[in-house]
Structure 1
Amino acid sequence: MKDSKSDKVVDIINYFLLVIVALLVIYPLLFVLSASLSDPRSVINGEVWLWPKGFTLDAYAKLFQNQDLIRGFVNTFKYTSVGTIINIVLTIMAAYPLSRRDFVGRNVLMAILVFTMFFSGGLIPLYLLIRDLGMLDTFWVMVIPNAVSIFNIIIMRTFFQSIPWELQEASIIDGCSNIQILTKIILPLSMPVIAVMVLFYSVGHWNSYFNALIYLTDRDKFPLQLILREILIQSQTDEMIQSTTESIVEQQMMVEGLKYAVLIVSSLPMLILYPFLQRYFVTGLMIGSIKG
Structure 2
Amino acid sequence: MNNQFTKNFGAFEDDGLNPTASSVATHLYDYGNLSVKNGWIKDGMVFVKCMRESLAEKINVSVDTITRTLRVLEDKGWIIVKRQRNAANIYFLPKYYDLNSDIKQQNATLENANCNQSQTNFKQSYTNETDVTCKSSKNKQIEMPKTKIGNEENKQVKISGFDRMQNLVDSLKQKACFGHDLINILVKYSENTGVLYNYAKLIFKAKKTVIAKLVQNGKPEAKDALRFENNISLMPELTDFMKSLIIKTRCTKSIKNVAGYITKSLHEFFKDAVGGYMSIERHAKLVKNNKGFNIPIIKLDK
TM over 0.5: no
**Structure that is richer in helix per residue:** 1
**Structure that is richer in strand per residue:** 2
